Amino acid sequence: MMTLRHQVYVWQFPVRLFHWVNALAITVLFVTGMYIGHPILDTPGEAVGNFFMGKVRFWHGLSAYIFIANMIIRLYWFWAGNEYSKIRLWKKEFWSDVVATFKYYTFMTREHVLHVGHNAVAQLMYLIFIWLAGLLIILTGLAMRGGSDPNGIIQSLFGWVVPFFRNEFQVRNVHHFLAWGYALFLLGHLYMVFRQDILDDDGTISSMVNGYKFELISPDAQEGRQDSLAKERENYR
């Protein structure tokens, strides 16, 4: 018997929107951020006629606020969204899945636990590289922005970050370091996405646009399943 594919609507619109806004924001933030760290271009002429660094900092700030707003909306969607939009760390199954998936990725076992949504290792990576690192990079970023307006709301909310890291140099350092975390994440993320799509042919890549993935039903698990699918077909007739 062949492997069956069953179409499932996995990524709801807000999740897909979050993904692409996030991708765009991170790209802009990384490029502008690296430029702020290493201004390699020199603008000739009078200072009066140029505002290049100023513009780069403006776009960095704007993308940062978009990034933050996007994260907040996604945070809401953890609660409001469907099953696939959640991370459930407190579940026993989550951690057993972490072990199983880790074994699969390290070729310790051939057994491939199939997921329609993210597997637990992927979820864990999002938690670390997007959510925890994101929180830290937002805090350090806002702390540095706040310094420009000593009596502003940002400084009163995030002023504690600088003494927490001892000095602003370290805040900046941590911010810069975390940026590389995103580059690392992107590398792993892209590899895993293409690998998944090629190996399982489950529509991982196209699902980022249209939201649909294909649930794989292996031959030995088809017994009862086929009946339900047949029933479904009956209903359509």
Residues that bind another protein (CB under 8 A): 37-39, 41-43, 47-54, 56-57, 105, 107, 110, 147-148, 150-151, 155, 159-160, 162-163, 166-173, 176-177, 179-180, 183-184, 187-188, 191, 195, 199
Please choose, from the candidates 4, 47, 18, 1, the residue with its C-alpha nearest in 3D space to the C-alpha of residue 202.
Answer: 4
Q: 150 or 224, CB closer to another protein?
A: 150
Residue 230: enclosing H or E segment and its boundaries?
helix 222-236
Question: What is the closest distance, in whole angstroms, from the C-beta atom of residue 138 to another protein in the complex?
Answer: 18
Cα 202 to Cα 211: distance, rounded to the nearest angstrom: 12
Please choose, from the candidates 4, 14, 5, the residue with its C-alpha nearest in 3D space to the C-alpha of residue 211.
Answer: 14
Q: 53 or 135, CB closer to another protein?
A: 53
- Which residues have a Cβ under 8 Å from the Cβ of 196 and sit 6 or more positions away? 202, 204
Q: 78 or 169, CB closer to another protein?
A: 169
Question: What is the closest distance, in whole angstroms, from the C-beta atom of residue 51 to another protein in the complex?
Answer: 6
Task: Name residue 85's amino acid.
Answer: S
Question: What is the closest distance, in whole angstroms, from the C-beta atom of residue 53 to another protein in the complex?
Answer: 4
Question: What is the closest distance, in whole angstroms, from the C-beta atom of residue 74 to another protein in the complex?
Answer: 25
Question: What is the closest distance, in whole angstroms, from the C-beta atom of residue 162 to another protein in the complex?
Answer: 6
Q: 8 or 144, CB closer to another protein?
A: 144
Pair of tokens at residue 126: 């999002």
Cα 237 to Cα 232: distance, rounded to the nearest angstrom: 9
The answer to whether 74 touches 14, Cβ cutoff 8 Å, is yes
Q: Any idea which residue has 């990725």 for tokens?
A: 105
Question: What is the closest distance, in whole angstroms, from the C-beta atom of residue 120 to another protein in the complex?
Answer: 18
Q: 100 or 171, CB closer to another protein?
A: 171
Question: What is the closest distance, in whole angstroms, from the C-beta atom of residue 123 to another protein in the complex?
Answer: 19
Cα 56 to Cα 38: distance, rounded to the nearest angstrom: 12
Q: CA-CA distances (angstroms) from residue 130 to 183, 189, 199, 204?
A: 11, 11, 25, 20
Cα 175 to Cα 132: distance, rounded to the nearest angstrom: 13
Q: 114 or 199, CB closer to another protein?
A: 199
